Amino acid sequence: MSRVLNFGSLNYDHVYEMDHFTEPKETQSSLSYIRNFGGKGLNQSIALAKAGVEVYHAGKVGSDGQDFIDYLNKYKVDTTYLKKDDNEATGHAIIEICKGQNRIILHGGANRSIDEKQIDEVLKHFSKDDVLLLQNEISSMSYLIDKAHEKGMTIAFNTAPMDKSVFSYPLEKVDIFIVNEIEGAGLAQAKGDDIDEVIEGLRTKFPDKKIILTVGEKGSYFIEKEQIIHQDVYKAEAVDTTAAGDTFTGFFLASYLKDGDVRKALDLAAKASSITVQGKGAAQSIPEIGDL
Ligand code: RIB
């Protein structure tokens, strides 16, 4: 099975449980506070590792980031290519949780100081047999995609968080897109509330790509050329949806890379993310494959 290089973000998640999402001009006390390990990159590495994949996490933390290395190593994620940058603070996220939903403010910090030199050093150790997984929380994305494509690596891109920078990347070099309905609508430049329009838009814009689209309660889709496969959700009482998408990405990819069976991969990913939403926090609520 391919190795996965996840070049991605690591954030301290400052999580505040709230009575309601804070309004403009309002000051509101939180009901509780906890600091967790997070970042879409870290969460996805943990999900991949828990799903049984050989995963290397490349990225950057500040001088206070040793805890991240220890945490990833605890779950057997290889951190050889994770660097400490004494001049930058580790990335962080301010997360409000209310009635199972979240709202997230990001500060990129060290995640945004990944440069071409670091990318060249890391990619030296990988080849066309390996998979590069990306999210949209680090710097130098275009360079990374270009260089990995030159090597012939398979590139999977979870376009979260979706913003206009995504359109400046060489998206034609991506092999697999993993998006939720907002990201999918952004990418397809379609209306997010009409799933058929999003699917059609994605298919038209990226006719030769594999696309995984998650649509909350409406389940998920695998789209490739004329083929569309749908997967229902596993119903669960959501306590905290943080990292549900990351769990889906990690478990889908792990299962798909193992045997190429899309239906099995969608089913496993749906099951795993239904467990993540039942626990508080990001990486810590991701299940082990043996628990599914
Ligand atoms: O996907 C959830 C993650 O998004 C959080 O852990 C937070 O750090 C942000 O990156």
Residue 43 Cβ contacting ligand 1 at under 6 Å: yes
Q: Does the pLDDT value for residue 119 go beyond 90?
A: yes
**Residue of 46, 61, 242, 284 to test ligand 1 pocket, by largest number of atoms within 8 Å of CB:** 242
Q: Does the pLDDT value for residue 247 go beyond 80?
A: yes
Domain segments of the chain as ranges? 4-9+39-88+109-291
Mean pLDDT, residues 34-40: 96
Give the CATH fold of the 4-9+39-88+109-291 domain: UDP-N-acetylmuramoyl-L-alanine:D-glutamate ligase (3.40.1190)
Mean pLDDT, residues 3-28: 97
Residue 94 Cβ contacting ligand 1 at under 6 Å: no
Pick the residue whose CA is nearest to atom 2 on ligand 1: 243
Average pLDDT, the chain: 96
Contacts of 183 (CB under 8 A, 6+ apart): 159, 160, 162
Sheet with 227-231, strands from edge to edge, namely 82-85, 55-62, 4-7, 131-134, 154-158, 176-180, 210-214, 220-224, 227-231
Mean pLDDT, residues 7-30: 97
Which pLDDT value is given to residue 193? Answer: 77
**Residue 1: pLDDT band with limits 50, 70, 90:** confident
Q: Does the pLDDT value for residue 100 go beyond 80?
A: yes
Work out which ligand 1 atom sits closest to the CA atom of 245. 1
Mean pLDDT, residues 217-222: 96
How far is the centre of ligand 1, averaged over its atoms, from the C-alpha of 104 (Å)? 8
Query: pLDDT digit string (tens) for 134-176?
Result: 999 999 999 999 999 999 999 999 999 999 999 999 999 999 9
